[in-house]
Amino acid sequence: VRPSTERPCENFENCAFEWACPLGGPSGDLECHVQILLLVGIILAGLLALWCCCCLAYRFARAFRPIAGQLKLMTPKGDAMQVNFYIVEESEARVDKTRTTQTQDSSATASNAFLGRALSKVSSRTSQKEVKSHVVWDVDVEKAKTMEFHGGKMTKLQKMTGANPSQHEVLQRLPEVLDMTQQDQYRTKQMLREQEEEAIRRAETTAHTEEERPVAKIMSVKSGISASQMEAALGIGPYMKEERVEYWSATHCKWVAAFAEAHGSHPSTGSICYEIKLAGSMQKRLHVPLENLRSPILMGEPVSAWSSKDCRWHLGEAGRAVTAVAYKVITADLAKK
């Protein structure tokens, strides 16, 4: 006997699953199309959460890599050798073509900044850094040369350090690599030592053969800088068009990098003046007098550097710009940097 009334399936009780209404029958609280969208959203949210968890686990694994440890190297004959290693991350400067200017001068007056070029600023190019990981081994090279290592342990180290396949091949040839690395380091240190010795000899020769000139003799006595150094620091022109110069800004009280655009006579005084364009921008300065311009310091150029330790000037030679705001100077008297 059929009942007098029929009620559709409600509240998931004795309901057959239907893809058209996955969360309930037609008489449920949600419409069928809303249920489908909600189910798809739940599935996508679950997949997204799983992907985020995997990314976090990967990042944590890379962040907490071992920085040191021990590795047991096995040979096919069963001999073992215990070696220590540690991982070093070093930054490699990548030169960019964009010209920028940074400064180190803060509280020096205009005259001190004009005389002490090492305390002013350095014009340089921006550099971006690339971090590379290197595995440094503490191993008996002579003993390692006589052993043939098993590659299984190297694969484990490759996974820990994140080495690429080319680095993995290098690790498999550990003794030869160690020998070549030590030779390269020795040659590099020897080359740097010879360059520094040559720079010191040139600075000493310049200090002994330097003659005082009347043009800058008075300023030389007051500042402790020789006359030839003073004239070189003045950067007396003429400057060619598009030549890189350093311009003393009275507004900022510091030297800024610029390019010479044109030269002529000052409308009021008749003296030589220049039109310059500031580096890194299109701003121009008109009627700049010659005494407000100078040439940038070049590598190997004789300079005088002020030492805050013994409170005096040291005659030396400009080395390479080690940072964006400082020069490396080799002094002639004490061979200090």
Burial classification of residue 174, based on how many CB atoms lie within 10 Å of its CB (0-12 exposed, 13-18 middle, 19 or more buried):
buried
Per-residue pLDDT at 111: 36
Taking a C-beta distance cutoff of 8 angstroms, is the pair 175, 144 a contact? yes
Residue 257 lies in a domain: yes
Last residue of a domain, one of 161, 192, 223: 192
Residue 159 lies in a domain: yes
Per-residue pLDDT at 235: 47
Look up the domain containing 103 and give its range.
68-108+124-192
Residue 55 lies in a domain: yes
**Residue 60 CB contacts under 8 Å (≥ 6 apart), including other chains:** none
**Residue 306 CB contacts under 8 Å (≥ 6 apart), including other chains:** 116, 118, 119, 312, 313, 314
**Residue 236 CB contacts under 8 Å (≥ 6 apart), including other chains:** 290
pTM for the predicted model, two decimal places: 0.28
Q: How many alpha carbons fall within 13 Å on the CB side of residue 5? A: 2
pLDDT digits (tens), the chain, 337 positions: 455 555 555 555 556 666 677 766 555 567 777 878 888 899 999 999 999 999 999 888 877 766 777 777 777 777 777 777 777 765 544 434 333 333 333 333 333 433 344 333 333 333 444 666 667 777 676 776 676 655 444 445 555 455 454 444 544 555 454 555 555 566 666 777 777 777 777 766 765 554 444 444 444 444 444 444 444 444 455 778 888 888 888 877 777 888 888 888 888 887 888 888 887 777 888 888 888 888 777 777 777 888 888 888 878 777 764 443 345 677 766 444 4
SS (H, E, C) 169-230: HHHHCHHHHHHHHHHHHHHHHHHHHHHHHHHHHHHHHHHHHCCCCHHHHHHHHHHCCCHHHH
User: Is 278 found in the same domain as 162?
Assistant: no
User: Is 228 found in the same domain as 187?
Assistant: no
User: Is 100 found in the same domain as 24?
Assistant: no
Q: How far apart are the first and last CA of the chain?
A: 109
Residue 286 lies in a domain: yes
User: Is 268 found in the same domain as 173?
Assistant: no
Residue 32 lies in a domain: yes
Among 258, 322, 333, which residue's Cα sits nearest to residue 296? 258
Per-residue pLDDT at 47: 95
CA distance 176 to 171: 10
Per-residue pLDDT at 72: 76
Residue 93 lies in a domain: yes
Per-residue pLDDT at 332: 64
